Structure 1
Amino acid sequence: MLRFLNVIIFLAAFLLLLLVSVSLPITKSITYFTLTAGFDAGAISSGVSGGVSFGNWGWCTTPLVVEVFGIDRTEPGECSEAKIGWTIDQRLVDLLHLEGLQDAVNSGLTLALVLNPIACGITFLTLLFVLWFAWRQTRLSAIIGVCVGVVAAILTTIAFVIDIVVMTLVKKNVENVSSNFHVTYGQTTWMTLVAMILTWIGIILFCIAGFRGRRVRRKEETY
């Protein structure tokens, strides 16, 4: 029973990391953070307000509202091309007045963009070994599974720490530039946190299941 529970735990951790790894713009509802901006020029009754959300493979803008002499004009949102190592489009920088924030955002996300998919891949390998152990309780499957699982847990923990540090630094740097900028956290940080907790719990249960399986085999050999 314990080994099958472990399968569910690692499956859940893998699915969470997978969703993080295929976040925006592939999965538009899952983001790292959203940067909103609003600028007003009261003398001529003009301004612009809008936002941009960042994900593992790019960014998407919310509809941008441009006001000129009291007349609102809305530009539809758009998404960047899905790719790793993306940068903020210059037109978006000009429209939302993001000058000086490009380096803070782009460099800050680099580690998180790379590490989360790696942690997802190692967690999937751990899931395979857990399935192997659930199907056939062998000493080899237990040892390899625990070793790979520990690597997955460590990588997921590092990914979570990096997510927290990066998001905190980006929020601080962005909002220090101007009160017109505001950063809100997305879902990926908390999804990574849950995956990290599940992975460590899974490792503990894996060790317990392996120890119990070994004791059962010894009793069978004795009798």
Structure 2
Amino acid sequence: MIDRYTVPILMLLLCAFVLLVLTTFSVPFIKPFYFFHSDVNGGVAYGTWGWCFDLSGVCSPKRFGWMWKPQFVPLLNQLLVLYPIATGLTLICILVLMPVMCSRHSRLHPFPLLALFCLLAWLCSTAAFAASLTNWLIARQHFTQDGLDTHLGPLVWVSLGAMVALLIVAVNTSCGSLCRGHMGRRHSGIYFTY
């Protein structure tokens, strides 16, 4: 029997996992998914693993820490490796949640391992989101100085959605695990005699 209290957690984790997979396998693997776009040579889309020109379809070699100097900061590009790490941690969260869902007394027992992995997944996705947004702000300033236009792509919003879903799960599992599911209140069945 599946515990009904864990179903929303599973749904949020599955949504975050799918969004993080799309973020991880962005340009040049899946060309419609990119973080930012600039008007260099007819248009360039930048993703997690590299970049691709719009007109010619030529893409960079697939690797983390791709170079596009002087607009992008290579260190911030290397921090995009946190997206696949967050994806893996979210998958581990789903796998750790499965035994919890099938437990008869899941609301009575703390699950610190689930809370820990959810918190780590959220921290990785937040750090990767911050790195990608900072990189775009720096690149936008450089492109604007060169007279080129840039704009955000769909992956910024996709990764933001995954980050928010993981935040909700991390808060929920941490409070449920650390406070034993009832936010620190005493169980109504406990009576003290003096």
Q: Distance in 2 between matches of 1:219 and 1:128?
A: 32
The answer for the alignment partner of 1:20 in structure 2 is 23
5 Å-filtered alignment, 1:62-101, equals 62-63=54-55, 76-87=56-67
Does residue 87 of structure 2 align to residue 120 of structure 1? yes
1:208 deviates by 5.6
Contact 1:30 1:55 in 2 (8 A): yes
The answer for the alignment partner of 2:36 in structure 1 is 33
The answer for the alignment partner of 2:12 in structure 1 is 9
Q: Distance in 2 between matches of 1:114 and 1:107?
A: 12
Does residue 143 of structure 2 align to residue 183 of structure 1? no
Which ranges in structure 2 are unaligned for 5 or more consecutive residues? 190-194
1:110 deviates by 1.9
> Against the structure 1 CA distance between its residues 19 and 127, is the aligned structure 2 distance closer, same or farther, given a 3 Å change threshold?
same
Q: Distance in 2 between matches of 1:195 and 1:131?
A: 20
5 Å-filtered alignment, 1:28-67, equals 28-37=31-40, 49-63=41-55
Q: Distance in 2 between matches of 1:135 and 1:207?
A: 19
Contact 2:65 2:74 in 1 (8 A): no
Which ranges in structure 1 are unaligned for 5 or more consecutive residues? 38-48, 64-75, 89-101
Contact 1:108 1:170 in 2 (8 A): no
Counterpart AA for 2:45: S
Equivalent of residue 205 in structure 1, options 164, 168, 172: 172
1:105 deviates by 2.0
The answer for the alignment partner of 2:114 in structure 1 is 145
Contact 2:48 2:80 in 1 (8 A): yes
Q: Distance in 2 between matches of 1:203 and 1:16?
A: 17
Counterpart AA for 1:25: P
What TM-score does the superposition give when structure 1 sets the normalisation length? 0.71
1:191 deviates by 1.3
1:119 deviates by 1.5
> Against the structure 1 CA distance between its residues 167 and 153, is the aligned structure 2 distance closer, same or farther, given a 3 Å change threshold?
same
* Count of aligned pairs between the two proteins: 181
1:108 deviates by 5.6
* Deviation string, structure 1 residues 55-98 (Cα, Å, up to 9, x no partner): 112211111xxxxxxxxxxxx3322333333335xxxxxxxxxx
Name the % identity.
24
Contact 1:52 1:60 in 2 (8 A): yes
Counterpart AA for 2:123: I
Contact 1:32 1:54 in 2 (8 A): yes
Higher strand content, 1 or 2: 1
Higher helix content, 1 or 2: 1
